[in-house]
Each structure stands twice: as C-alpha cells, then as structure tokens.
C-alpha cells in the first residue's frame, strides 16, 4: 500500500496535471466541450464523471484510476455526436466506478445519506436482462412523494430516463462490489424540480426490509458538542429529548442576541415549520431550550426548559425574539 503522503501527491498530480475537472462552460474551447455545455444531459454526466473520478482517486489505487481516466478521455475526444459522447460517459462512469457484475438488484433499498427526518427508498423488482422496475419514495420532514419508472440496464448500471409525472428527471444507479447502490440524479438539471421540498434521491443505498440507519441523537447530528452536554440536556428536558430530535429535520446556527458567547441552534421540520419548531442555546455552564408543537385543537403550544429556571419572564432575549414568531405576546 502506498504511504499516505505519496498517495496524496499522486492525487494532486492527477487532478492538476490533467483536465480531470468538470467542463467549465464559461471557457468551453473545443467542439466536445461546447457540445457538452449545450446539452443538459451531457453536462450532468460530465459532473457525475468528475465526482466519481475524484472519489475513486481516494478510495482506490490512484495510479490505476488516473490511467483509466486519461485513457477514457482520449476516447471521448474522438466523438463527433451527442450520442457518442453520451455512450462514452456511461462507459467511463461504469469503468471508474468498478460496477459490480451479476448484481442482485431486487429488493428494498434505503438511502443512508439522507439526514434526520428525511429519507428515500428504491423498491426494485422484475429484474430482467435489459431492465428493472423502480418504485421510488422520497421524503423530507412532512414533504413526500412517490414515483414509478423503468430503469434501463446499461454498462452494468441502471438508468432511469423517464419518471412518471416529472420533467426531465434522470437517475443513475451504480452497483458496488460492497453490495451497496450508489445513486446520482441530474438534480441541478431536472430532478430537483420534481422532488418534494428539501428531498433528494442521491446517495448510498443499502438493501434492507427496514430503515438500517442508526437512530439520531442531538449529539450525532452535531447540535450538542459532546457527550456531557448531551447527557445534561437529556436530564433537563426528560422525555422531551426525543421530541427535540424529531424536530431537527433542518437545523442551523443562529445569532446569540444576548451576547453571552452562547451557541444557538434553530431547528424545524420541513413542511411544518410553524407547528414543529425549536431552538437550543448553551454556554459552558447553562442550557436553554424551547420547542413549539400543537395542542389537540391545533393551536401552537410552547415548551420551555432552562438550567436557570423555566419562568417565561426570564427567557433570554434570543428566545423572546424566537417566541414572537409564534405568539403575539
């Protein structure tokens, strides 16, 4: 095995010593580059090829991967039509990805790359020599949708070219020797418009009857900084801990309006930000937390916790400003 430093140098040489970057359409200078930039499908395949190349340089033998790429690049330069360029990309992607032969496609596949309270599944069935049926489900918080399509097998991969009730959404399924599926979509060119808000289909998929992902915590999501803080938070909020986790579909840093050097994280559920929303603020010594949900009549109700006491009148300014988004006073 190559020493880490040597492998790093080989990777740098491979990247900077060749044209192994996605085509820069601001500076397209050859007929092939201009053709790629004028065709959304080819532009997507070019970006996908670049991502796979960079990934395989790190995961595999950098020398071998780079040679495979440069040999493929020469074949691409010999193309004089859209169809030829497209075939070259599929062949190159399959080669660099080391697509697994004789892959068992059928079953339920779960997206391991999706964040908390989001996900995706591929139900693959009726696998034949040239095709496999695909039922797709994608969700992000309360936003969700389902699609059906037939995937065409090509160079050991499966390509979805026409998803029902969508516009120009293409999905490439690459079987890996590990037994996983790697999925790439033309998100920037078509699929993003067709997916539910915040949802995506790209990622690494595992075959399983039920969701194989590890149960999320505020620590594993990076909302709380260490195990001690996670335990202190759990002790403070008790059974509400899981409800905070179930609100953390989207979570972002926010401003500390109290100027006390605190870390502030706001979180909400996509499609339900007005009824499932929360904020956590903490310093080295203190924790404040609040969340919004609905009562039995559908009206918002507030749950507030603090290591300094749970009186609403003592809420920090950061929380008072947040609270005004849901209550008049």
Task: Quick: pLDDT tens for 2-38.
Answer: 555 554 454 445 444 445 557 888 888 889 999 999 9
Joined together, the tokens standing for residue 268 give 């909400």
Mean pLDDT of 200-220: 96
Mean pLDDT of 275-289: 97
Other C-beta atoms lying within 10 Å of the C-beta of residue 181: 24
DSSP 189: I
Percent of the chain as helix, strand, coil, to the nearest 5 = 35, 25, 40
Q: Is 325 exposed, middle or buried (0-12, 13-18, 19+ CB in 10 A)?
A: exposed
Q: What is the pLDDT of residue 11?
A: 47
Joined together, the tokens standing for residue 152 give 């065409």
In the block, tokens 């006390």 appear at 260
Q: DSSP 3-state assignment of 324? A: coil
Q: What is the pLDDT of residue 27?
A: 86
Mean pLDDT of 277-300: 94
Answer yes or no: is pLDDT of 293 > 70: yes
* 247-274 pLDDT tens trace: 999 999 999 999 999 999 999 999 999 9
Structure confidence at residue 224 as a pLDDT band (50, 70, 90)? very high
Distance between CA 322 and CA 114 in Å, rounded? 28
Distance between CA 241 and CA 229 in Å, rounded? 13
Mean pLDDT of 217-236: 97
Instruction: Work out the mean pLDDT of the chain and round it to a whole number.
Output: 90
Answer yes or no: is pLDDT of 192 > 80: no
* 136-154 pLDDT tens trace: 999 999 999 999 999 999 9
Q: CA 160, 162, 163, 168: dihedral to nearest 10 degrees?
A: 110
CA distances from 36 to 40, 48, 71, 121 (A): 8, 13, 19, 31
Answer yes or no: is pLDDT of 319 > 90: yes
Show the 3-state SS of 38-107: CCHHHHHHHHHHHHHHHHHHHHCCHHHHHHHHHHHHHHHHCCCCHHHHHHHHHHHHHHHHCCCCCCCCCE
Q: What is the pLDDT of residue 173?
A: 98
* 47-86 pLDDT tens trace: 999 999 999 998 888 899 999 999 998 888 899 999 999 9
Structure confidence at residue 176 as a pLDDT band (50, 70, 90)? very high
Q: What is the pLDDT of residue 24?
A: 83
Other C-beta atoms lying within 10 Å of the C-beta of residue 279: 23
Answer yes or no: is pLDDT of 238 > 80: yes
Q: What is the pLDDT of residue 193?
A: 72
Distance between CA 293 and CA 269 in Å, rounded? 11
Q: Which of 226, 225, 178, 239 is nearest to 205 (CA)?
A: 178
Mean pLDDT of 203-210: 97
- φ, ψ for residue 211 (rounded to 5)? -60, 115
| Residues in Cβ contact with 85 at an 8 Å cutoff, skipping those fewer than 6 apart | 32, 35, 36, 42, 76, 79
């Amino acid at each position: 095995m190559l020493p880490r430093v040597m492998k790093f140098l080989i990777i740098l040489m491979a990247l900077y010593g060749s044209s192994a970057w996605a085509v820069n359409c601001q500076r397209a200078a050859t007929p092939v580059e201009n053709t790629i930039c004028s065709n959304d499908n080819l532009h997507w395949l070019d970006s996908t090829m670049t991502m796979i190349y960079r990934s395989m340089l790190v995961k595999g033998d950098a020398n071998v991967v780079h040679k495979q790429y440069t040999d493929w690049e020469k074949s691409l330069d010999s193309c004089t039509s859209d169809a030829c360029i497209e075939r070259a990309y599929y062949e190159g992607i399959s080669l660099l990805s080391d697509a697994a032969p004789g892959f068992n496609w059928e079953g339920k596949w779960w997206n391991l790359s999706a964040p908390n309270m989001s996900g995706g599944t591929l139900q693959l069935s009726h696998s034949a020599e040239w095709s496999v049926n695909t039922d797709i489900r994608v969700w992000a918080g309360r936003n969700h949708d389902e699609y059906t399509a037939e995937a065409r097998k090509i160079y050991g991969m499966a390509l979805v070219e026409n998803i029902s009730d969508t516009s120009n959404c293409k999905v490439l399924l690459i079987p890996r020797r590990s037994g996983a599926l790697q999925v790439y979509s033309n998100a920037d060119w078509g699929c993003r418009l067709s997916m539910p808000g915040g949802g995506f289909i790209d990622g690494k998929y595992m075959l399983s009857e039920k969701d194989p992902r590890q149960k999320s915590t505020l620590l594993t999501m990076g909302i709380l900084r260490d195990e001690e803080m996670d335990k202190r938070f759990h002790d403070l909020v008790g059974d509400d801990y899981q409800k905070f986790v179930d609100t953390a579909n989207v979570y972002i840093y926010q401003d500390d309006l109290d100027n006390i050097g605190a870390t502030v994280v706001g979180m909400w559920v996509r499609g339900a930000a007005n009824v499932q929303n929360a904020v956590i603020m903490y310093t080295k010594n203190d924790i404040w937390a609040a969340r919004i949900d609905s009562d039995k009549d559908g009206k918002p109700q507030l749950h507030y916790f603090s290591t300094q006491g749970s009186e609403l009148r003592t809420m920090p300014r950061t929380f008072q400003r947040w609270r005004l988004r849901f209550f008049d006073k």
